[in-house]
Structure 1
């Protein structure tokens, strides 16, 4: 089965509708994630295992090819915004990890959080897996706690849906609010609906 992960590698260029590069500082053009940044999307069959790629990607080993967690150097998609990846490419149920790799190879890991409730609610029969969730920045030493918190939160929201206190859409919105609230100062990426 593996521990599947998707990785978004920052492209050197930025979208053409962005500010002229002459007006930007080197930090803005080289590494800072923003809505004008574009990424190439790669996959790793084992890279989701305990966020193993977080410390294994570097300028000397951009695809961690010297490890069992190696990244396929052939992109599966190119020139994408993070919002597009979150909405159209990431399978929140099947991908165990998501990574954003900056132009300097600084790597940020995210938990893919699936908002599907069919396991937690008898009223919800089927939930989409692509574009139906959130990405929550990882703090590795708190990863197990977060997973437990999420299971408990989904159980409560599923019960609320079963009791018809929430519609499935309201349940999804509540999950998004709870994840944002829990994340505090960590980055959260929610696909636009």
Structure 2
């Protein structure tokens, strides 16, 4: 369970870094394209502002402002009309970069929710309760034994909570940093 949560967390963290890098590369390509790509660059900057303010979740009940902002980047790219072969080839590359960004974003969104199944969590909690109950049943009742059980149960519960918290990387105490997106935003603004 610890390994699963750790792998989920590290995978999403790596994906966020790669996503941010690809945003910077797309922005550089749009800069190379020239003034015609300015609207798409502005839309990309708007997307980054939304993404930093409201990280994407796989919760479809909330409005997805960042997703709509990223769609606006795609619409701006569709409206670009190349004037020569160089711009045509560059635009093809830019559109491929954009599609890669959309794929990465949805990969991050879909993997952002926990991977540890609830039946496993319930089974582990029942098993730990049974073990502590059986130890407590046979142990003498004095202050040291009671304190030891309380401390041990607290430490195990805390570790259990942290593992479950790490399994959902955009919520809770342990979260994926938005620093890569902030750096990408600073780069796009410059």
Range class of TM-score, shorter chain: under 0.3
TM-score relative to the length of structure 1: 0.26
| Higher strand proportion | 1
Q: Using CA pairs under 8 Å that are at least 6 residues apart, name the structure with larger relative contact order, 1 or 2.
A: 2
Structure 1 or 2, whichever has the larger Rg, is: 2
